[in-house]
Structure formats: structure tokens, C-alpha cells
């Protein structure tokens, strides 16, 4: 396995030292607290996408190994695989792969360890260069977004949850080991590389009609923080950045291309990407998947409601220049013309969508979607997740503003561009 190790021997020492002092509240560069409990109902289904046909039939066929009550959205987000072991174990063989992966390698691949799930006694004996430690961590449900069954020291079943991509940890203990924060995109995670490493990947690629070697190179090229949620549908490899799953309560259409409301997309991902046992239908993209029992549909309302409680981190005084941000705000609404599209409490005019050329975007990703256009991305907390634009083409907020200045011919001076950046940093 060609995995470069970045983890240093001091890691385990730090783990031991910090495990002793369980610093719960001392880890908040990110401060994501749920606030308003009034939940807006979903904006309704996208055009032509009716409810999955099996929604009614699900309850009586209910399986016995559900980890969460269907009404517990946080549990579903963190722990529910929806039966996607049928992809990750039966097809890809991730259970075989993880048995040879050391914790150090797992961290290198961007996987995160939930420090709270690991008793100090386990950390005390943990060897981060021993794959057996990975198995032990999996047995404790301590690897964020992976849920495994461990029997006699062997991983027999494994699946993934939403938290794999949409949660991260604050590095309280060591890089990649700490307290879990839901809603933050895991921009260290390298999903393409993980999938390409699985023993079942060549056969899986062939089943998609893609040459395994070509597919491997494509997925290895995605890089940390990127994933392509359409690759297994249209065989095109053009990944996008994993977005935050917070701050969506006031955003009527989700994804970079505004394909549908939260529940539409949650359903799409759970069934077509995670490989969960559920149903999904959207005639716009020619999909009508029916599986029984439907382990996805009954959980969608609670999953949505939980996401709506996830707030972006609030701007903290002192982390931006307030006077420059004030000047930037006036430019944002005036000369720079940003507020025409980034409007309202979340800074998006969705459900309005925009043709790619209106903002100088590469059209490919829009063309692959059901809408053919891009949604003005919500901007609260934007400073926390560089790079920017769906394809990561702007490394910094400075580059974003420079992009608009050129494409829209805004004629902003350098000082004005700096002020707009400062305003973005204050959102």
C-alpha cells in the first residue's frame, strides 16, 4: 500500500497526556452551537420527484439491526448506515481493507477519531502503527462516520454514515483526534483514495462499465476534501468540494446546483452514494430505485430537522477588522453587486439559480446535474472552509473577490477588494 505517513511518534504521547484531562470546553475555534429550535418545513419536492414508491411499505418490513430510533436525527446522521454494508462490505470489501490499515494510515486518509468514544485505558495501550488498534477503534465506534461489527477481533461488517464527510473533529488531542463537530465538511478526508484502495474496487468499476485502472486513477486524483456524487451515475470524474451541512435552514435548494431541498439530496446520497437500502426516484435524472425494506425514507424527516439545527460558527470579534468589514458590506450591497445573488439571511437567492457563465464558472458540473445551473452558495461561516467554488478553483476569499472583479468587470481597487474580503470573513 502506497501510503505516506505524516504521523509522528509524539502522537501517542499526546493522546495519553490529553486523555487524562478530558478538556470538553476548551476546544472551540469552531463554536458550532445549535440555536433556534424553530424548524422550517422542507421546501417541498423538486419538480417531478415524487415520494419513493416504497415509503408506505417500509414499516412492516423493518429490520432488527437499526442503530437509531427513526426520530433521532442526530443519531441517524452520525450512526446510521441505512444498510449500506451491502456496498461497503459485500461489494467493496472495506472490512478487509481496514484490517490492514494502521490508525496512522487512517488519519493520513483523513479519517477522524472521536476522542470521547475511546476510554483512556484503551488509549494507554494503543499502538498507532498496529492495524489491531484500528479494529479496536472500530469496535468502539470511535472512527467518525464508519460503523463496523467486530467479532473475535475481526471486522465482519462495515458501513459509512453521513458523518464520514459532513463531520470533523476539533484537534483537541492530536491531529484528527478530538471532539466531533457535525456539519463541518471533512476536507482532510480522501474518499476517492479510500474507495480506490478497497479490494472490491476493480470489480465495482467493471460493473459500472469503467476500466478499473482508469477508474482507479480518476478516484486517486480527486484529492482530500473532494468527492464526486455523480461518478457512479454518469461515469464522469469531476469531483466537487464536500460542502458544510450546517446553515441550511433558510436555504430552499441544496447542492451547488440546487437540485432539490435537503430531504431530496439526503435521500439521493443515502441510496445512490452510500449504497443504503432505500428507495429514490427523480425522473429528471432518470432514476427510480426501489429496495425493500426501505431503511432511508422513514428517517428523512428527523435527519432534515437535525441538519436544520446545525448552525455555522459565529464570527468572533477580533478575528476580523470590523471597520474594513463595514466598508466591505457597503461594497457587497453596492458597487460589487454581490447582494443581488447573495441575499437574505443565508446570503443566497435560491431557489433562483444562475447560468454558469453569469459568474464565470466551469459549466461541466452544472451540465451533469438536474438543473444545469449553479445556486448562489450560502455564505455564513464561509471563512471556515477554503478553498471556494464547487471545484475549489479559488484557494482563498481574496481569489474569490479577484475572480468576480475580473469576470463581472467590477473595477474594484485593491483596497476595496480587501474590504469585501474582510466582510466575507465577518459572516
Name which of 173 and 245 has its Cβ closer to ligand HEC.
Answer: 245
Q: Does 425 bind ligand HEC (CB under 6 A)?
A: no
Distance, CA of 223 to CA of 277 (rounded, Å): 28
390 contributes a contact to ligand HEC by CB under 6 A: yes
DSSP output for 346-401:
TT--TT--B-GGGTT--SHHHHHSSSSSBPPPP-TTGGGS-SBSTT--BSSHHHHH
417 forms part of the interface with ligand HEC (CB under 6 A): no
d(CA 217, CA 255): 26
Piece in contact with ligand HEC (CB under 6 A), picked from 1-9, 106-114, 248-256, 309-317: 248-256
Q: How many CA atoms lie within 13 A of 266 on its CB side?
A: 31
Task: Report the distance separating Cα 145 and Cα 421, nearest Å.
Answer: 34
Residue with cell string 485593491: 414
Say whether residue 280 binds ligand HEC (CB under 6 A).
Answer: no
Rule CB under 6 A: say whether 88 interacts with ligand HEC: no
Q: Is 400 in the site for ligand HEC (CB under 6 A)?
A: yes
Q: Which residue has the cell 429496495?
A: 291
Q: Closest Cα to residue 32, out of 244, 241, 178, 187?
A: 244
Binding to ligand HEC by residue 338, rule CB under 6 A?
Answer: yes
Between 95 and 299, whose beta carbon lies closer to ligand HEC?
299
Out of 106, 137, 148, 401, name the contact with ligand HEC by CB under 6 A. 401
User: Which one of residues 74, 377, 383, 427 is an interface residue with ligand HEC (CB under 6 A)?
Assistant: 377
Q: Where are the beta strands (DSSP E) in 161-313?
A: 167-174, 177-182, 226-227, 240-241, 280-282, 287-289
Q: Does 342 bind ligand HEC (CB under 6 A)?
A: yes
Supply 74's cell numbers: 442526530
356: left (phi over 0), alpha (psi -120 to 50) or beta: alpha
Each residue 201-240 as x (binds ligand HEC by CB under 6 A) or -, in order, gives --------------------------x-x----------x
Single out the residue of 174, 177, 270, 285 in contact with ligand HEC (rule: CB under 6 A): 270
Residue 13: Cβ-neighbour burial (10 angstroms; 0-12, 13-18, 19+): exposed
Of residues 83, 103, 243, 278, which one binds ligand HEC by CB under 6 A?
243
**358 contacts ligand HEC (rule: CB under 6 A):** yes
Out of 73, 176, 191, 298, point to the residue binding ligand HEC (CB under 6 A).
191
Binding site for ligand HEC (CB under 6 A): 160, 162, 164-166, 191, 227, 229, 240, 242-243, 245, 248, 254-257, 262, 265-266, 269-270, 274, 303, 307, 336-338, 340-342, 354, 358-359, 361, 374-377, 379, 382, 388-390, 400-401, 404, 420, 424
Amino acid at each position: 500500500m502506497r501510503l505516506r505517513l505524516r504521523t509522528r511518534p509524539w502522537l501517542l504521547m499526546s493522546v495519553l497526556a490529553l486523555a487524562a484531562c478530558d478538556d470538553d470546553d476548551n476546544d472551540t475555534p469552531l463554536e458550532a452551537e445549535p440555536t433556534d429550535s424553530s424548524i422550517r418545513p422542507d421546501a417541498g419536492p423538486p419538480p417531478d420527484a415524487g415520494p419513493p414508491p416504497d415509503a408506505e411499505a417500509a414499516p412492516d418490513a423493518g429490520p432488527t439491526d437499526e442503530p437509531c430510533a427513526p426520530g433521532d436525527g442526530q443519531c441517524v446522521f452520525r450512526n446510521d448506515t441505512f444498510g449500506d454494508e451491502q456496498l461497503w462490505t459485500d461489494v467493496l470489501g472495506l472490512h478487509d481493507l481496514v484490517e490492514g490499515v494502521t490508525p496512522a494510515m487512517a488519519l493520513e486518509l483523513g479519517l477522524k477519531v472521536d476522542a470521547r468514544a475511546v476510554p483512556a485505558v484503551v488509549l494507554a495501550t494503543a499502538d498507532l502503527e498496529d492495524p489491531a488498534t484500528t479494529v479496536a477503534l472500530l469496535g468502539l465506534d470511535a472512527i467518525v462516520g464508519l460503523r463496523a461489527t467486530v467479532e473475535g477481533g475481526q471486522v465482519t461488517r462495515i458501513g459509512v454514515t453521513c458523518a464520514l464527510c459532513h463531520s470533523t473533529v476539533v484537534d483537541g488531542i492530536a491531529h484528527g483526534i478530538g471532539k466531533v463537530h457535525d456539519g463541518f465538511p471533512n476536507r482532510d478526508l480522501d474518499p476517492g483514495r479510500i474507495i480506490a484502495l478497497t479490494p472490491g474496487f476493480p470489480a465495482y468499476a467493471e460493473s459500472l462499465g469503467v476500466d478499473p485502472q482508469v477508474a482507479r486513477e480518476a478516484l486517486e486524483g480527486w484529492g482530500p476534501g473532494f468527492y464526486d456524487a455523480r461518478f457512479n451515475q454518469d461515469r464522469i470524474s469531476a469531483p466537487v468540494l464536500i460542502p458544510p451541512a450546517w446553515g441550511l435552514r433558510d436555504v430552499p435548494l441544496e447542492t451547488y446546483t440546487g437540485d432539490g431541498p435537503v430531504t431530496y439530496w439526503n435521500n439521493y446520497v443515502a441510496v445512490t452514494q452510500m449504497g443504503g437500502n432505500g428507495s429514490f426516484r427523480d425522473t429528471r435524472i432518470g432514476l427510480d430505485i426501489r429496495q425493500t425494506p426501505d431503511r432511508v425514507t422513514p428517517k428523512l424527516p428527523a435527519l432534515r430537522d437535525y441538519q436544520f439545527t446545525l448552525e455555522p460558527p459565529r464570527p468572533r470579534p477580533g478575528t476580523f477588522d470590523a471597520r474594513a468589514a463595514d466598508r466591505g458590506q457597503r461594497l457587497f450591497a453596492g458597487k460589487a453587486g454581490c447582494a443581488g445573488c447573495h441575499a437574505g439571511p443565508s446570503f443566497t437567492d435560491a431557489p433562483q439559480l444562475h447560468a454558469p457563465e453569469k459568474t464565470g464558472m466551469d459549466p461541466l458540473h452544472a451540465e451533469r446535474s438536474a438543473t444545469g445551473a449553479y445556486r448562489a452558495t450560502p455564505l455564513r461561516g464561509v471563512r471556515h472552509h477554503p478553498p471556494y467554488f464547487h471545484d475549489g478553483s479559488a484557494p482563498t476569499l481574496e481569489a474569490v473577490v479577484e475572480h468576480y472583479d475580473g469576470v463581472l468587470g467590477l473595477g474594484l481597487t485593491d483596497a476595496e477588494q480587501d474590504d469585501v474580503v474582510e466582510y466575507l470573513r465577518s459572516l
